[in-house]
Amino acid sequence: MGQQYRPIPVNTALLAKRVLIVDDEADICLLLSGLLRRLGYQPTCAHFIEEGRQCLHTQKFDAIFLDLNLPDGLGFDLLPTIKEDQTEAKIIMISAFDGQAERRRATEQGADYFIGKPFTRRSVEMALQTIQV
């Protein structure tokens, strides 16, 4: 008699890529985190720069969706912390201010991708594919 094959159970939550969303609009966080969950990611939301900074100090993320305008400052203010603490994380800036100046500054300060608001499922999927997360 041969032994029966039994697959080892895998906790997929441990394998899911972790994504931080820093955006003060609750509906954007809800929409984006729902989409990311359906795509197999494990999202965490923060609504302020300081809240985002605390998340960055307590866990590692594979990608960060960072809003440009937040109640306690500009998303740009959080970029140095991300670059210092999360060297492997990819940064996707999101903003209703979708001009060349904002895009250029985001790229110059280390963002890997920029999505204008309102965004679509397709634009989020394209960003994730482009940055390979």
Domains of the chain: 15-131 (3.40.50.2300)
Digit-coded pLDDT (tens) for 90-119: 999 999 988 899 999 999 999 999 999 999
Q: Is a pLDDT exceeding 70 seen at residue 7?
A: no
Main-chain phi, psi angles of 127, to 5 degrees? -60, -45
Mean pLDDT rounded to a whole number for the chain: 91
Residues belonging to the chain: 133
Q: Tokens 């140095």 map to which residue?
A: 80
In which element (H, E) is residue 72 found?
none
Residues contacting residue 104 through CB under 8 Å, at least 6 positions apart:
none
CA distance 76 to 15: 29
Digit-coded pLDDT (tens) for 50-66: 999 999 999 999 999 99
Q: Is a pLDDT exceeding 60 seen at residue 120?
A: yes
| Closest C-alpha among 65, 41, 34, 33 to residue 52 | 65
Give me the pLDDT at residue 15, please: 73
110: left (phi over 0), alpha (psi -120 to 50) or beta: left
Give me the pLDDT at residue 16, please: 87
Give me the pLDDT at residue 114, please: 96
CA distance 7 to 66: 39
Q: Find out whether 81 and 54 touch, Cβ atoms under 8 Å.
A: no
